[in-house]
Structure 1
Amino acid sequence: MLALVLAGCETFSAPPAANPQPARSLVEATATPQADNAVVEPTAQPTPEVASPPEGLSRGGDTMTVGGSPTKLIERAKAEAATLARSSAESVQVVSVEGVDWSDSSLGCPQAGMMYAQVITPGYKIVLESGGRTYEFHTALDPAGPLVRCGG
């Protein structure tokens, strides 16, 4: 029994081969490269094309606009200004419309106690005039999106 236990602790190795083969190299030897004095000129790389905006959007300056202009947003702002001025929308004059990248979803008019998504929100600053008063509205790009009266 002791012989079986001791036999389990012994290591065995294969006998050496009678005619060992030399190790083969997988990489063939080549002649040493000779340095020549050739100069390689860089080739021009083509300029990649810039992706166009998605369908229905166009790029104007630094702002993307829906359908090419903020017409519907201006109409909504004029209707709101007319209500505030107690006049007709036809009497409301457009002073300026400016494409803006708002720093967050408050559209530049944060209200106390409100939380806003901290993302760049492209939109418009629309300034209107009616009855001697100025009305400033801030919007996102979506014509059905928020229309925020900002300022006095």
Structure 2
Amino acid sequence: MKDFIDVLLLQLVQKDKDGSNKYVYKPTEDTLFDFQIEGVQWLLYNWSQRRGSILADEMGLGKTVQSSVLLSAIMKYSGGSGPCLVVAPLSTLGHWKRELQKWAPSLVTVLFHGNAEDRQMMMDYDLSWIDTHTGASIFEKSSVRRRVEY
């Protein structure tokens, strides 16, 4: 599986020519740092093993960037069959929108903050993101909650 991940990342990133510990993300020509590449590798590995994972780090180190690159990679190169759902605090949804537009421009996304009747709309997009309050409300009312053992 490591070979798949390495090949996947080689299609997306290349080492910066200046010899620094930075990588150029080919779809956008923007720069990723080595620790961000490691984060994406780790997330891809966990995804490939069907293991959930949490990318937790200090503010400002690019967790949203890494998540955007991960989602872009999964959707573009591995036959990912969306839709995907990102649940985030309401105060960060604008940031998510900007970062997804920058780092995953090929994804068709929608910001969802609405009622239950509007949920069906999300199925028309590769990726949706909602605030945690709406996400908790959806989870609370869903049949998934009843099937999860705590």
Band of TM-score, shorter chain: under 0.3
Structure with greater strand share of residues:
1
Structure with greater helix share of residues:
2
Larger radius of gyration: 1
TM-score, normalization by structure 2: 0.22
TM-score, normalization by structure 1: 0.22
